[in-house]
Amino acid sequence: MTTSRRQFLQFSLAATALAACSPGLRAASGEGRATSKKKILVLGGTGFLGPAFVTAAQARGHTLTLFNRGKTRPELFPDVEKLHGDRDPNKDEGLKALEGRSFDAVLDTSGYFPRMVRASAELLAPHIGQYLFISSVSAYAKNDTPHADESAATATLADPNVETMGKNFENYGGLKRACEEAAEKAMPGRVTVVRPGYIVGPEDRSDRFTYFPLRYEQGGEMLAPGSPSDPLQIIDVRDLAEWLVLLVERNTTGIFNAVGPEKPWSMGEMFAACKEVTGKDTKLIWVPGEFLLKNGEDGEGALPIWAPAFGAYAGMHLRSNTQAVKAGLRFRSPVDTVRDTLAWFKSQPEERRGKPRAGLPPEREAELLSLWAQAQGK
């Protein structure tokens, strides 16, 4: 497995970290609104996970404040207090808008560099009760062990002061881990670290998971990577957001792998969900991972989410979620995620639908299928 593949998957995993109430939250914390209302600060809040969290928290009756630069979708949530500044305390007004403010909890969805996480955590420490940091499973050093839990070895940085992802995003995992440590040092015992894998669902602007139901609906012969039994872990952004609200309501701290569904899922089951949703009978051509790697599909973006189920990535889609489930994380049916994601994408403007941001281009898919047929002597 090439280093570039590992680096790409690390960054690709967390790119998603950049709404309505589901059965998961209702089952875990009761119907309707929360009995104890919280004042919650969101660092970020206008990307993908942030808006889902705000929606879920509002549905439970909590009071939200957003802190960001005001550049990404500033029209969102006109009824929510918005503070403008910069995560970097050395830029413009920095964190001044947060000075003297008190909150029950902070959700940090936009922390990528430890110096900046340290600055916000230290500033807020005397005035908040809980700091939820959205990290990533990329914070782990390796992906080769199936069912690894939160005690697995984590990534490190050759230069602890680095503030770039690196040419091939080689610093991403180490930076996330360093951010976790910065938050915990500033607020020992009051930090909740959440390490998601692939976050998917409506509003996912990366199109990585969306590619598969979209392509399946087109019909014909479709390249299916790996084998039907290859594991696949995803989490619907709405399930993740509602669980984060629950963690705030219960003041739950610790480290958690936020991956799902609850029971192991597979590429074959994902395509079965696509068939159920679309009603199409697309012919899947399963192309082994070894063959795809040999022919240049080494994780540079053409085949999203999927990873080889062997070698250095044997545990990539098999992280343990036991601790998160014990802490109340619940999952809607993957069929619901497929259906809602497809419906959302179809609701987008025609120009947007015509320019998918992930997936095999038709000509590349046809080339790979032709090469595989030749290898099979067909």
Under the banding of pLDDT at 50, 70 and 90, the label for residue 183 is very high
User: Can you give the pLDDT at residue 336?
Assistant: 97
- How far is the C-alpha of 138 from the C-alpha of 142, rounded, in Å? 8
User: Can you give the pLDDT at residue 27?
Assistant: 34
Neighbours of 355 (CB within 10 A): 8
pLDDT of 13 higher than 80: no
**Both tokens of residue 376?**
């099979």
User: Can you give the pLDDT at residue 48?
Assistant: 96
Helix (H, G, I), strand (E, B) or coil at 5: helix
**Both tokens of residue 374?**
């030749």
User: Can you give the pLDDT at residue 166?
Assistant: 87
Pick from 305, 282, 269: nearest CA to 222: 282
User: Can you give the pLDDT at residue 321?
Assistant: 98
Kindly report the average pLDDT of the chain as a whole number: 91
Yes or no: say if 223 and 287 are a contact pair by the CB < 8 Å rule: yes
Under the banding of pLDDT at 50, 70 and 90, the label for residue 301 is low
pLDDT of 22 higher than 70: no
- How far is the C-alpha of 261 from the C-alpha of 235, rounded, in Å? 7
User: Can you give the pLDDT at residue 20?
Assistant: 30
Pick from 108, 101, 102: nearest CA to 132: 108
Which string of b and e fits 162-175 if b means at least 16 CB within 10 Å? beebeebbbbbbbb
Yes or no: say if 19 and 340 are a contact pair by the CB < 8 Å rule: no
pLDDT of 4 higher than 50: no
Largest CA distance in the chain: 71
Yes or no: say if 198 and 16 are a contact pair by the CB < 8 Å rule: yes
User: Can you give the pLDDT at residue 12?
Assistant: 53
User: Can you give the pLDDT at residue 35?
Assistant: 80
Yes or no: say if 212 and 274 are a contact pair by the CB < 8 Å rule: yes
**How crowded is the C-beta side of 169, counted as CA atoms within 13 Å?**
20
Cβ-based neighbours of 295, under 8 Å, separated by 6 or more: 368, 371
Write the pLDDT tens digit of every residue in 95-114.
Answer: 999 999 999 999 999 999 99
Cβ-based neighbours of 170, under 8 Å, separated by 6 or more: 3, 7
pLDDT of 3 higher than 60: no
Q: CATH number for the 3-375 domain, one of 3.40.50.720, 1.10.1040.10, 3.50.50.60, 3.30.420.130?
A: 3.40.50.720
**Both tokens of residue 356?**
């998918």
User: Can you give the pLDDT at residue 132?
Assistant: 98
pTM value is 0.91
pLDDT of 273 higher than 60: yes
User: Can you give the pLDDT at residue 264?
Assistant: 87
Write the pLDDT tens digit of every residue in 329-374.
Answer: 999 999 999 999 999 999 999 999 999 999 999 999 999 999 999 9
For strands 191-196 and 221-225, give the pairing.
unpaired
Q: What does the pLDDT average to over 179-189?
A: 98
Write the pLDDT tens digit of every residue in 259-269.
Answer: 999 998 999 99
pLDDT of 116 higher than 80: yes
pLDDT of 126 higher than 80: yes
- Rg of the chain on CA atoms, in Å: 21
Write the pLDDT tens digit of every residue in 52-110.
Answer: 999 999 999 999 999 999 999 999 999 999 999 999 999 999 999 999 999 999 999 99
**Both tokens of residue 88?**
């970097």
Q: What does the pLDDT average to over 270-287?
A: 98
User: Can you give the pLDDT at residue 302?
Assistant: 83
Place of tokens 């939160």: 150
Domain assignments of the chain as residue spans, ordered by start? 3-375
For strands 260-266 and 231-236, give the pairing.
antiparallel
pLDDT of 18 higher than 80: no
Yes or no: say if 41 and 65 are a contact pair by the CB < 8 Å rule: yes
User: Can you give the pLDDT at residue 89?
Assistant: 96
pLDDT of 378 higher than 90: no
Under the banding of pLDDT at 50, 70 and 90, the label for residue 171 is very high
- How far is the C-alpha of 48 from the C-alpha of 109, rounded, in Å? 9
Yes or no: say if 345 and 277 are a contact pair by the CB < 8 Å rule: no
Q: What does the pLDDT average to over 184-206?
A: 97
